[in-house]
Amino acid sequence: MNAIQHWRDALAAWEIPPAVLADAEDSPWVLPRHVFVRRARSQLDRPEGASFEVAWQALRPSGSVLDVGAGAGSASLPLAPRSTDITAVDGDAELLARFALRASEIGVAARTVRGTWPEVGEDLPAFDVVVCHHVLYNAPDLPAFVNALTSHARRLVVLDLAERHPLTALNELWVWFHGIRRPDGPTADDAIAALGELGITPEVARWQRFPATEHPDFATMVDVTRRRLCLPRSRAAEVADALSEAGHGKDDTPDLGSSGNGIVTLSWPGGAG
């Protein structure tokens, strides 16, 4: 099986069993916006990681930036001092509004585009640097997604992703509550192999993100986790007990299922000329 097909099949394996999904009281497709806002604020206060450093160096001289899957801007807004302008693409209107507000506050020219990549890319010009953080695991059609990134970058594409599919952080809880073993892939190495089949040999940097408290309180972490597990509200106390046994509590509320702290940065030359 080739690497691109393996990537597609590995993502398809994450489909929630229909019987479990049918019993869910709330949608498991949770978008904890507060997590994205906190990450953007943290990165603006103190940028960290290889992804920032690689993009920062590529913006010499200053240039335009496209942020695909921008959220609240954690990937692109820290680059503002070397950016002539930033365009943010995301499917969530509220997060784009947060991005626009923060861009205005720090005085960078910014534009927001609501939509799905790569479809919205058809109406966008080329940019000097394209950044894309924690989106690739949502892209089963990796060739179309990646090729659009490359064709929109003049200098460099900077993509980061967790070492493993972020939902693997919930796998033990799926066994505990449902007796179901969830997939353990794909991984960043699978992405690198798939890029190789597209003729892309990226520079690879592996690094650890500093652990952070991401939910405002333990109750929010419990509710988000419960929904991702397709459990009814009546079982929230059981979820709280399971999270407490795993060592989480008042001062330790990571966003399980969003992305881990082991991050891989992939970068390669743009193809926009």
Q: 87-110, pLDDT tens digit by residue?
A: 999 999 999 999 999 999 999 999
pLDDT of residue 69: 98
> With contact defined as beta carbons under 8 Å apart, do 182 and 167 qualify?
yes
Give the domain ranges of the chain: 3-21+30-167+184-216+258-269
What's the whole-number average pLDDT of the chain?
A: 95
pLDDT over 80 (residue 260): no
Q: What pLDDT shows up at residue 210?
A: 84
Question: Is 245 in contact with 36 (CB distance < 8 Å)?
Answer: no
Task: Report residue 202's pLDDT band, with 50, 70 and 90 as the boundaries.
Answer: very high
Predicted pLDDT at 259: 64
Q: What share of the chain in percent tops pLDDT 90? A: 90
Residues constituting the chain: 273
Tell me the per-residue pLDDT of 6-40, one tens digit each, with 9 for 90 and over. Answer: 999 999 999 999 999 998 999 999 889 999 999 99
- Our CA angle for 214, 157, 258, nearest 5°, is 20
Amino acid identity for residue 223 in this structure: D
Name residues whose C-beta falls within 8 Å of residue 78's C-beta, 6 or more positions apart in sequence: 43, 44, 47, 52
- Per-residue pLDDT, averaged over 136-153, amounts to 98
Longest dimension (CA), the chain: 57
Average pLDDT over residues 66-71: 98
**Residue 197 banded pLDDT, cuts 50, 70, 90:** very high
Whether the per-residue pLDDT at 1 is higher than 70: the answer is no
Q: Identify the architecture of domain 3-21+30-167+184-216+258-269 in CATH.
A: 3-Layer(aba) Sandwich (3.40)
Report the b/e string of 236-245 with b at 16+ CB within 10 A.
beebbebbee
The pLDDT value given to residue 9: 97
Q: Is 10 helix (H, G, I), strand (E, B) or coil?
A: helix
Q: What is the pLDDT of residues 233-252, one digit of tens each?
A: 999 999 999 999 989 987 88
Rounded to two decimals, the pTM is: 0.95
Both tokens of 193, joined, read 């192999």
